[in-house]
Amino acid sequence: MFGGINPKKMQAMMKQMGMSQEEIDSSKVIIEKSDGSKINFQGQETWQISGDSIEESAETKISEEDIKTVMEKSNCDKETALKALEETDGDLAEAILKLSE
């Protein structure tokens, strides 16, 4: 975390102060807030933001119309069309080509 400080000791000190730290496993984080602060400590940038968080899924929404199109063009059932669209992130052309192989 910080150079020269034992991470376990840092966690213990934070716990004593009522603070906790959580790693966020994500590929993209969007912050829509005008206030907050950025801290630069020994070359490490840290942001402190207060407020409520909202987690949104990055799932691709596949419409019934897209499923029907893939079914018609590929001569397949609904389940197969849906699976192909999910595997291609909703790309109609790629899904149809995948099923035509």
Each residue of 43-95: pLDDT tens digit?
A: 888 877 777 877 777 677 899 999 999 999 999 999 999 999 999 989 999 99
Domains of the chain: 1-20+35-49 (no CATH), 64-100 (1.10.8)
The reported pTM is: 0.45
- 16: helix, coil or strand? helix
CA distance 55 to 36: 19
Residue scoring higher pLDDT (12 or 22): 12
Angle formed at CA 28 by CA 50 and CA 58, multiple of 5 degrees? 105
